[in-house]
Amino acid sequence: MYAQMVKTDTTSVKTREEMSAEERAFQDRVDADIKIEAKDWMPENYRKTLIRQISQHAHSEIVGQLPEANWLTRAPTLERKAILLAKIQDEAGHGLYLYCAAETLGVSRDELTEQLLTGKAKYSSIFNYPTLTWADVGTIGWLVDGAAIMNQVPLQRCSFGPYSRAMIRVCKEESFHQRQGYDALMKMCLKGTAAQKAMCQDAFNRWWWPSLMMFGPPDKESVHSAQSMAWKIKLNSNDELRQKFVDQTVPQAEYLGLEIPDPNLSWNEERGHYDFGEIDWSELFSVVRGDGPCNRERLAARRKAWDDGAWFREGLMAHAEKKSARKDTQKNAA
Amino acid sequence: MGEWPLWEVFIRGQHGGNHRHVGSLHAPDAEKAVMNARDVYTRRNEGVSIWVVRATDITASAPGEKGPLFEPSNSKVYRHPTFFDIPDDVGAM
């Protein structure tokens, strides 16, 4: 998902007997769906895991602007350009909501930025793929934002108050992202030329599998899930959400007349779900390790933006300090 | 140089009501905080007025004081109108 393979620093979920009195009281509150707030007592691993998860989510929103920004100056109409600009601005906003939620846990914004720029913190694997054509922009909105919604809707109910509130805000805005993408594809698939439709199929072929990988490794290999689910900072398992995504997306692809690039995809009457083919997990692990098609380019772009913006950040701060000092002098003189 | 200070943002919506806390952001000074709050928290017409306050200027009650602070109001159910049974014959009250 936007946060994938988040470590919990625990090897197994503690039983009630193994918990301290504080830990038991904490778990009782989580079980009773009472929100944990930043100043409340919490297990150190809960705090650390949340910082990792929320910051990874925030970094994904920020880095996620880059693949789409590639098409800002090349959008086919002024209206599409304005829509794309608004979507990208939303992504920046979502990153900011999430950074603030992470900061309530006692980490500074500069530390979070540094963790991204040094590669210590991760962001979603999906943003390490290139946007080769205009159809990629539509496909990202439809599939990538669609997968994000699937994960973020349950997170609105997560146990940590600031994260939950950030998710509520994000979810309100996210549906626009998915719809604008699907709308762009409808235009080309249903009313466009054969070449435009072929371009959509090509984009779909390239984004389908990486979108399924967004949900993270299969449940049987997802070692940190049990603890995260006990803490209610993960509400559904990876496979559960992936299945839900496939079930929802296949009819949408059919409506566009696009073919799913998976020969093993078929409706399973008995299960009431689509069966689908084996995912190439070695690809996900290689992208997460830093060897996806665009990992280096993405980080280089973020580093450049940070370095190039230094004079601006420092200049505004110096100006603010000078102004405040002048005000103090005037007050003292009066 | 250190990072920009943190500001808490309060927005009053279209339909009157109080300013409500919506979140926080970093900005070098109050003026820029209002400008940033416009971009971060009112992209969809959410507000007609913005307040910003330095996060360090906010005094919050401690979670540990929850008992002594809020317990007293818990036991005073007579503060709610439904505590009193008024006969239907009396009419609207």
Task: Choose the mutation target among B11, B31, B42, B44 for the interface with A, i.e. most A CBs under 10 Å.
Answer: B44
Predicted confidence at residue B16, as pLDDT, reads 81
Contacts for A278 with CB less than 8 Å, ≥ 6 apart = A264
Residue of A nearest to B3 (CA): A110
Chain A residues touching B42 at Cβ < 8 A: none
Predicted confidence at residue A1, as pLDDT, reads 45
Distances from the Cα of A274 to the Cα of A142, A154, A195, A243, B81, angstroms: 19, 22, 30, 8, 55
The DSSP output letter for A74 is G
Residue of B nearest to A168 (CA): B22
Predicted confidence at residue A113, as pLDDT, reads 97
C-alpha span between A20 and A121 (Å, rounded)? 31
The pTM of the full predicted model, rounded to 2 decimals, is 0.93
- Contact (CB<8Å) B4/A317: yes
Short-list A84, A90, A64, CA closest to A173 = A90
What DSSP string describes A258-288? Answer: PPPS-TT-EEETTTTEEE-PPP-HHHHHHII
Short-list A114, A112, A118, A1, CA closest to A51 = A112
- Contact (CB<8Å) A320/B29: yes
Name the β-bridge partners of A12.
Answer: none
Predicted confidence at residue A143, as pLDDT, reads 98
Contact A228, A45 (CB under 8 A): no
Fold of the CATH domain B6-88: Ubiquitin-like (UB roll) (3.10.20)
Predicted confidence at residue B1, as pLDDT, reads 55
> In this complex, is the C-beta atom of A296 within 8 Å of any C-beta atom belonging to chain B?
no
How distant is the alpha carbon of residue A244 from its chain centre? 17
Contact B46, B61 (CB under 8 A): no
C-alpha span between A11 and B41 (Å, rounded)? 40
Short-list A4, A13, A65, CA closest to A216 = A4
Q: Taking 70 as the threshold, does the pLDDT of residue B44 lie above it? A: yes
Q: Which residue has the tokens 């990208």?
A: A88
> Which residues of chain A are under the pLDDT cut of 50?
1
- Contact (CB<8Å) B43/A110: no
Instruction: Write down the domain spans for chain B.
Output: 6-88
Name the β-bridge partners of B50.
Answer: B11
